[in-house]
């Protein structure tokens, strides 16, 4: 599956996030998979998570901005139409709690759940604040070359500009890996002002940690991801289309699953988001 953005002035991310609200069911939206974010057997997990968040952001009853988003990948979306459901199950004075799902018709026409999720939005207040995990001291983006996806690579890689600093994909798959830490500068390609949906996608751009730790390209796939949003909308606006520094590391690889923790800072050193995911892998 290939994609070319030359025929449209709309950013590919905005095309992929386009949702049409139902006239009869509030919180229900119609969407369409986008070839520009295609992975091996379905859409890139980051765009699926961003689509669920987009449904919340479009909901007429939304309170506040995203605080956390958890997405569980029950099955791969196939190419074509799907339905998103976003339900605010409880609204408090400053927080709102959501349940989420994506459904798609199977071969017999029955609606099947492919993705589930929960989220919390919140009205933020000015309080005492501090960052306890400072941004690593690394050379600026201009001192690192952007990678070019090789011919035949999955299409979604072309939707991001990535400038590796350390811990990129092994050159040889010989089992010699000894760590799982990756650092890279990244942003949407083509450039696009940062918002909560784009931030969600960027939190999932890292290749499976088991590939780096083992230096073996074993089958792997995200089961569940949670993104925590620390930035305000104003901080995202101030970041604009600048680079984010992303850092990812696995913590435990055991019995067919590993976890991965991620931090994202803007060039000013402000931590915008963190994420954690659990990933399935085979020998």
Is residue 131 within 8 A of residue 272, CB to CB? The reply is no
Decide if 12-122 and 143-281 have a common fold. Answer: yes
- 């669920």: which residue's tokens? 52
C-alpha 41/C-alpha 156 separation (Å) is 12
In the prediction, which pLDDT does 7 show? 57
Burial class (CB in 10 A: 0-12, 13-18, 19+), 133: exposed
Is residue 225 within 8 A of residue 275, CB to CB? The reply is yes
Query: Phi and psi dihedrals of 86, rounded to 5?
Result: -125, 115
The highest-level CATH class for domain 12-122 is mainly beta
Instruction: Say yes or no to pLDDT of 6 above 60.
Output: no
In the prediction, which pLDDT does 195 show? 98
Question: Confidence band (pLDDT; 50, 70, 90) for 153?
Answer: very high
> Can you say how many angstroms the Cα of residue 150 is from the centroid of all Cα atoms in its chain?
22
pLDDT tens for each residue of 13-42: 999 999 999 988 899 999 999 999 999 889
In the prediction, which pLDDT does 283 show? 82
Residues in the chain: 283
Query: Phi and psi dihedrals of 169, rounded to 5?
Result: -55, 135
C-alpha 166/C-alpha 170 separation (Å) is 11
C-alpha 54/C-alpha 37 separation (Å) is 16
User: Which one, of 100, 93, 58, 83, lies nearest residue 226 by Cα?
Assistant: 100
User: Which one, of 76, 83, 6, 4, lies nearest residue 40 by Cα?
Assistant: 76
Instruction: Say yes or no to pLDDT of 262 above 80.
Output: yes
Instruction: Say yes or no to pLDDT of 1 above 80.
Output: no
Q: What is the residue-averaged pLDDT of the chain?
A: 95
Instruction: Say yes or no to pLDDT of 82 above 90.
Output: yes
| Domain covering 143-281 in this structure, CATH number | 2.40.160.210
Q: Is 230 helix (H, G, I), strand (E, B) or coil?
A: coil
pLDDT tens for each residue of 196-243: 999 999 999 999 999 999 999 999 999 999 999 999 999 999 999 999
Report domain extents, the chain: 12-122, 143-281
Is residue 197 within 8 A of residue 42, CB to CB? The reply is no
Question: Confidence band (pLDDT; 50, 70, 90) for 274?
Answer: very high
Instruction: Say yes or no to pLDDT of 108 above 60.
Output: yes
What is the pTM (predicted TM-score) of this model?
0.95
The mean per-residue pLDDT over the stretch 52-68 comes to 98
């Amino acid at each position: 599956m290939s994609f070319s953005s030359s025929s449209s002035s709309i950013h590919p991310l905005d095309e992929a996030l386009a949702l049409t609200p139902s006239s009869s069911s509030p919180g229900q939206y119609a969407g369409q998979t986008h070839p520009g974010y295609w992975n091996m057997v379905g859409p890139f997990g980051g765009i699926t998570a961003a689509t669920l968040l987009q449904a919340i952001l479009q909901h007429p009853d939304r309170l506040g901005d995203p605080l956390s988003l958890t997405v569980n990948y029950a099955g791969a979306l196939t190419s074509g139409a799907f339905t998103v459901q976003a339900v605010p199950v409880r609204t408090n004075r400053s927080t709102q709690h959501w349940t989420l799902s994506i459904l798609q018709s199977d071969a017999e026409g029955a609606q099947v759940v492919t993705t589930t999720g929960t989220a919390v939005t919140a009205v933020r207040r000015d309080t005492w604040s501090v960052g306890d995990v400072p941004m690593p001291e690394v050379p600026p983006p201009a001192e690192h070359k952007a990678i070019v996806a090789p011919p035949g690579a999955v299409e979604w890689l072309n939707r991001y500009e990535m400038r590796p600093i350390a811990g990129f994909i092994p050159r040889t798959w010989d089992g010699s890996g000894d760590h799982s830490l990756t650092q890279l500068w990244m942003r949407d390609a083509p450039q696009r002002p940062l918002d909560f949906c784009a931030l969600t996608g960027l939190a999932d751009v890292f290749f499976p940690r088991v590939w780096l730790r083992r230096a073996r390209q074993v089958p792997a796939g995200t089961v569940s991801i949670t993104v925590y949003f620390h930035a305000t909308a104003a901080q995202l606006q101030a970041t604009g289309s600048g680079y984010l520094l992303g850092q990812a590391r696995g913590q435990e690889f055991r019995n067919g699953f590993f976890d991965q923790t991620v931090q994202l800072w803007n060039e000013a050193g402000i931590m915008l988001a963190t994420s954690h995911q659990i990933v399935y892998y085979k020998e």
